[in-house]
């Protein structure tokens, strides 16, 4: 009996300092690993991830890999990212965000006059539409499970090279306008617009600036946006599959001519959709 008590005391005695030493030690919490990304880009941390976090925000991995989308307006600097592995280990790294200068676009002789001098009525309409859309594309603390895979599918058959105007800083007849939140592709009038992945249609609407618009939720906080469509072939809440036609290319809303505008929000970050079309192994990775 006495022997058992001594052993128990010894076990308690030795277990305490070890636990404390482990807590104090924790060299793994000092990031020695890092990844550098530009605004609008995506970083990844591959393998055996259970949970991913960027500063105070956390989300699930996709097929065991953590992705860290960086908003086009995220302040350049060093951020802490972490991942919990399937082995229960917490690892941290530094996400170094670099400044990406915006392409300057000056639109002159804009054909649609209602967008040159926006009436109070249209301004009110646009504000109302933004208040409807913003909650859908903002960061959500709980996301649906991912139903997409990477790289995502092309938003049109024989997709031409993008206009390179993601994040462009724009002026219209010299007056400053909001940054361009997507990538424009020179796809012809009436051509089918394809969902970039499996998902569920969040919203189908005609909006002042984006014209006929479709928003699709692909799970894991990934939302894709398709603007200026001529027609729709889906309805809200409908389930869609990768490559499914969701409408046709048009010139509705604030445009100078027919084209396909594709935007992507991931965990609330506005990123260049082109980075989801590349092989994920080509994304900047933590090492
Ligand atoms: Zn556009």
Segments making up each domain of the chain, as ranges: 29-98, 104-280
Query: Residue 30 has what pLDDT?
Result: 61
CA 182 to ligand 1 center in whole angstroms: 6
Torsion over CA: 254, 257, 258, 261 (sign): negative
CA 180 to ligand 1 center in whole angstroms: 6
CA 111 to ligand 1 center in whole angstroms: 16
CA 263 to ligand 1 center in whole angstroms: 8
| Residue scoring higher pLDDT (172 or 149) | 149
Pair type for strands 104-107 and 169-172: parallel
Judged by DSSP in three states, 265 sits in strand
CA 177 to ligand 1 center in whole angstroms: 13
- Confidence band, pLDDT 50/70/90 cuts, at residue 50: very high
Query: Residue 143 has what pLDDT?
Result: 94
CA 183 to ligand 1 center in whole angstroms: 6
Query: Residue 157 has what pLDDT?
Result: 98
Q: Which of 11, 51, 63 is nearest to 281 (CA)?
A: 63
Q: Which of 205, 242, 243 is nearest to 227 (CA)?
A: 205
Average pLDDT, the chain: 91
Q: How many residues does the chain have?
A: 287
pTM: 0.88
Neighbour tally for 49: CB within 10 Å = 22
Interval 154-182 mean pLDDT = 94
CA 213 to ligand 1 center in whole angstroms: 12
Residue 218 in this model has a pLDDT that exceeds 80: yes
CA 103 to ligand 1 center in whole angstroms: 13
Query: Residue 15 has what pLDDT?
Result: 41
Of the listed ranges 107-121, 122-136, 184-198, 215-229, the one predicted with least confidence: 107-121
Interval 277-287 mean pLDDT = 96
Residue 21 in this model has a pLDDT that exceeds 60: no
DSSP summary character for residue 200: E
How many angstroms separate the CA atoms of 281 and 63, rounded?
13
Neighbour tally for 55: CB within 10 Å = 10
CA 17 to ligand 1 center in whole angstroms: 60
Query: Residue 29 has what pLDDT?
Result: 57
CA 228 to ligand 1 center in whole angstroms: 8
Q: Which CATH code fits 104-280? A: 2.70.70.10
How many angstroms separate the CA atoms of 242 and 220, rounded?
16
DSSP summary character for residue 155: S
pLDDT per residue as tens digits for the range 70-97? 999 999 999 999 999 999 999 999 999 9
Q: Which of 254, 270, 265, 276 is nearest to 170 (CA)?
A: 254
Q: Which whole-number Å values give the CA distances from 226 to 64, 91, 264, 270, in the listed order?
A: 28, 37, 9, 14
How many angstroms separate the CA atoms of 232 and 223, rounded?
18
CA 230 to ligand 1 center in whole angstroms: 15
Query: Residue 10 has what pLDDT?
Result: 41
CA 78 to ligand 1 center in whole angstroms: 30
- Strand ranges (E), 86-198: 90-98, 104-107, 169-172, 175-177, 182-185, 192-194
Interval 154-170 mean pLDDT = 97
Residue 9 in this model has a pLDDT that exceeds 90: no
How many angstroms separate the CA atoms of 257 and 189, rounded?
9
CATH top-level class for 29-98?
Answer: mainly beta
Neighbour tally for 273: CB within 10 Å = 22
- Confidence band, pLDDT 50/70/90 cuts, at residue 65: very high
Query: Residue 1 has what pLDDT?
Result: 44
Residue 6 in this model has a pLDDT that exceeds 60: no
CA 165 to ligand 1 center in whole angstroms: 8
CA 261 to ligand 1 center in whole angstroms: 4
Judged by DSSP in three states, 279 sits in coil
Burial zone of 101 (CB within 10 Å; 0-12 exposed, 13-18 middle, 19+ buried): exposed
Interval 241-248 mean pLDDT = 98
φ and ψ at 134, to 5 degrees? Answer: -55, -45
Q: Does residue 247 contact residue 214 with C-beta atoms inside 8 Å? A: yes
Query: Residue 278 has what pLDDT?
Result: 96
């Amino acid at each position: 009996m006495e022997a058992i008590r001594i052993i128990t005391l010894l076990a308690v005695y030795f277990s305490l300092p070890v636990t404390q030493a482990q807590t104090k030690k924790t060299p793994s919490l000092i990031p020695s690993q890092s990844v550098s990304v530009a605004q609008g880009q995506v970083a990844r941390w591959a393998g055996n991830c259970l949970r991913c976090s960027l500063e105070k925000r956390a989300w699930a991995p996709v097929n065991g890999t953590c992705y860290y989308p960086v908003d086009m307006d995220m302040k350049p600097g060093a951020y802490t990212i972490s991942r919990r592995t399937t082995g229960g280990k917490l690892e941290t790294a530094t996400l170094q965000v670099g400044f990406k200068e915006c392409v300057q676009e000056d639109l002159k002789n804009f054909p649609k006059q209602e967008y040159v001098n926006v009436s109070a009525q249209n301004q009110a309409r646009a504000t109302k539409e933004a208040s409807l859309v913003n909650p859908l594309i903002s960061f959500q603390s709980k996301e649906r499970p991912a139903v997409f895979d990477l790289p995502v599918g092309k938003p049109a058959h024989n997709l031409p090279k993008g206009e390179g105007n993601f994040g462009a800083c724009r002026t219209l007849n010299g007056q400053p306008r909001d940054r361009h939140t997507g990538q424009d592709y020179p796809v012809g009038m009436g051509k089918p617009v394809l969902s970039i992945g499996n998902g569920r249609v969040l919203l189908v609407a005609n909006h002042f600036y984006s014209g006929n618009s479709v928003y699709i939720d692909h799970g894991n906080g990934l939302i894709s946006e398709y603007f200026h469509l001529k027609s729709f072939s889906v309805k809200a809440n409908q389930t869609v599959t990768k490559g499914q036609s969701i409408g046709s290319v048009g010139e509705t809303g604030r445009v100078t001519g027919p084209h396909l505008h594709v935007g992507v929000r991931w965990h609330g970050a506005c990123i260049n959709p082109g980075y989801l079309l590349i092989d994920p192994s080509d994304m900047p990775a933590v090492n």
